[in-house]
Amino acid sequence: MQLPDYHIHTARCGHAAGRMEEYVERALKLGLPEIGFADHVPMYWLDQRDRDPTLAMPPEQLPEYVAEVERLRAAYPGITIRLGLEADYIPGYEEKLQPLLEGYPFDYVIGSVHYIDGWGFDNPAYRDGYWEKDINRLYREYFKLVRLAARSGLFDVVAHPDLIKKFGYRPRDDLREVYEETARAFAVAGVCVEVNTAGLRAPVGEIYPAPGFLRACCRHGVPATTGSDAHAPSQVGADFDSARRLLVEAGYEEIAFFKGRKKFFRKI
């Protein structure tokens, strides 16, 4: 049994390459059982004029995106293709996001924290923002937002749950307690933790999340999903052998699949 790749982007977001067919064909070639597109949600929390077309699709493209996934599903009966979405969590804007998610037949919605007080901390263009901040405090603020995202009830999965490590800046503080508190919040909220291999391609060179966080999730009974965060067809299913190893070492025996925002499990 291979792992599903539930985190695949499309050129609509303005920073991914290739046609959607190429992503599907790459998955077929690898023999993946299932994939899901999860492109970036339109920047619903900003006014139209402030939205960056290189970060997310414009709102009018969302229906086309959905239709395209449905078309591919019919065109490739040899692989299960799910309709997902990667939606930023911005506190205070929950009521703007909710109707957007209810308007389409998503199989799952992945919630992401990419902003701390409006600062896109994972964007290489704003990396200098780290110099003026206390890294210990930043980690705490980040994980607090991650817990709020989990508790919002908007998401099925929390993406790359320690993305704050992306550039390799590490806190002096021991993170065990933060991991424990966050894993507990995931369990109570009923969300899945995403094992995301894009961290291996980032400066940090480590899968999201860290082994200690994934172990805490497993102990608390938090289900796991897998994703490559592919922004190019060649990245589909990338490093999934490492993802499997990390999952097994953390204690996982099964992985969550989604259909119509309901999950089911298969042995890994």
Task: Single out the residue of 10, 112, 228, 235 in contact with Fe ion (rule: CB under 5 A).
Answer: 112
Q: Report in angstroms the alpha-carbon separations of 89 from 23, 96, 154, 226, 239.
A: 26, 11, 9, 20, 27
Least Å distance between CB 173 and Zn ion? Answer: 25
Instruction: Specify whether the CB–CB gap between 87 and 110 falls below 8 A.
Output: yes
Alpha helices in 76-134 (DSSP H): 94-102
Q: Rounded to whole angstroms, how far apart are CA atoms 126 and 133?
A: 13
Q: How many residues bind Fe ion (CB under 5 A)?
A: 3
Instruction: Specify whether the CB–CB gap between 62 and 13 falls below 8 A.
Output: no
Residue 182 contact among Fe ion, Zn ion, none, beta carbon within 5 to 8 Å by kind: none
Least Å distance between CB 238 and Fe ion? Answer: 13
In the shown chain, the binding pattern of residues 207 to 246 toward Zn ion, with x for contact by CB under 5 A and - for none, equals: ----------------------x-----------------
Task: Single out the residue of 156, 229, 243, 247 in contact with Fe ion (rule: CB under 5 A).
Answer: 229
Q: Rounded to whole angstroms, how far apart are CA atoms 22 and 29?
A: 10
Minimum CB distance to Zn ion smaller for 107 or for 122: 122
Instruction: Specify whether the CB–CB gap between 178 and 140 falls below 8 A.
Output: yes
Chain position whose Cβ is nearest to Zn ion: 229
Task: Single out the residue of 5, 86, 194, 206 in contact with Fe ion (rule: CB under 5 A).
Answer: 86
Residue 5 contact among Zn ion, Fe ion, none, beta carbon within 5 to 8 Å by kind: none
Residue appearing with tokens 């990667």 = 86
Minimum CB distance to Fe ion smaller for 166 or for 215: 166
Minimum CB distance to Zn ion smaller for 76 or for 101: 101
Spatial CA neighbour of 7 closest among 268, 226, 246: 226
Tokens matching residue 215: 């172990």
Q: Rounded to whole angstroms, how far apart are CA atoms 127 and 241?
A: 30
How many Cβ atoms from other residues are within 10 Å of residue 158's Cβ? 27
The window from 18-26, 110-118, 178-186, 205-213 that contacts Fe ion (CB under 5 A) reads 110-118
Tokens matching residue 103: 């308007």
Indicate whether 68 belongs to the interface with Fe ion (CB under 5 A): no
Least Å distance between CB 229 and Fe ion? Answer: 4
The window from 77-85, 148-156, 222-230, 256-264 that contacts Fe ion (CB under 5 A) reads 222-230
Alpha helices in 80-175 (DSSP H): 94-102, 135-151
Least Å distance between CB 128 and Fe ion? Answer: 20
How many Cβ atoms from other residues are within 10 Å of residue 89's Cβ? 23
Residue 206 contact among Fe ion, Zn ion, none, beta carbon within 5 to 8 Å by kind: none
Which residues contribute to the site for Zn ion (CB under 5 A)? Answer: 229
Which residues contribute to the site for Fe ion (CB under 5 A)? Answer: 86, 112, 229
